[in-house]
Amino acid sequence: MTDLEKQIDFIHEIDKLKYIERMTCLFNSTRNENDAEHSWHLCMMALVLHGQSNEKIDLLKVLKMLLIHDIVEIDAGDTFLFDTKKSHDNTEEELKAAKRIFGMLPEEQGVELIKVWQEFEAAETAEAKFAKAIDRLAPMMQNATNNGGTWAQHNVSYETVIEKKKRIKDGSESLWDYAKGLADNYYK
């Protein structure tokens, strides 16, 4: 196959992201968001909010992370952050998916995207910390507009929300203050 044919096949494959339904509903809605909508919205949030990062960041790298971070869910599925039966850190299953899906691309591109995905998962760089902060903030904002959304639906305690979401602070203290305020307002 030519590089172009590989790239076109990859583009067809990632269209499946539109069919991966998330637990969280759209703002002020009862319709569940899909992974493609989620990724797009996170990128727009990063574009607008990147000045809130704790550290100077490479915005293009953050956008790459946010665009690709959930592509592995085509194979691995979406795991609800507050799931009590399955760990949200199913990285072995997701790594297998990353290798298959990004491996469809020409080698250099595939290797680059796997590295970017792994950097996001490790959450050690300023870019990854900020991307994770945005990824954790968005569902909180959605739940706040939906009378608690998945928190209410699944009887998630305030303490659990704070514990699972506190890593927002690693990427942005100001966004963490805002996010914590959303939880405080809902649970008061």
| Average pLDDT of the chain, as a whole number | 94
**pTM given for the model:** 0.94
Note the pLDDT of residue 78.
86
169 Cβ neighbours under 8 A, 6+ residues apart? 133, 176
The alpha-helical segments, DSSP class H, found in 50-187 are: 59-68, 73-76, 91-102, 107-122, 126-145, 149-153, 158-165, 168-171, 173-187
Evaluate if residue 62 carries a pLDDT over 90: yes
**Distance from C-alpha of 117 to C-alpha of 159, rounded to nearest angstrom:** 29
Phi, psi of 32 (to 5 degrees): -70, 145
pLDDT (tens digit per residue) in 140-154:
999 999 999 999 999
| Residue recorded with tokens 């072995």 | 92
**Distance from C-alpha of 112 to C-alpha of 70, rounded to nearest angstrom:** 16
The confidence band for 89, taking pLDDT boundaries of 50, 70 and 90, is: low
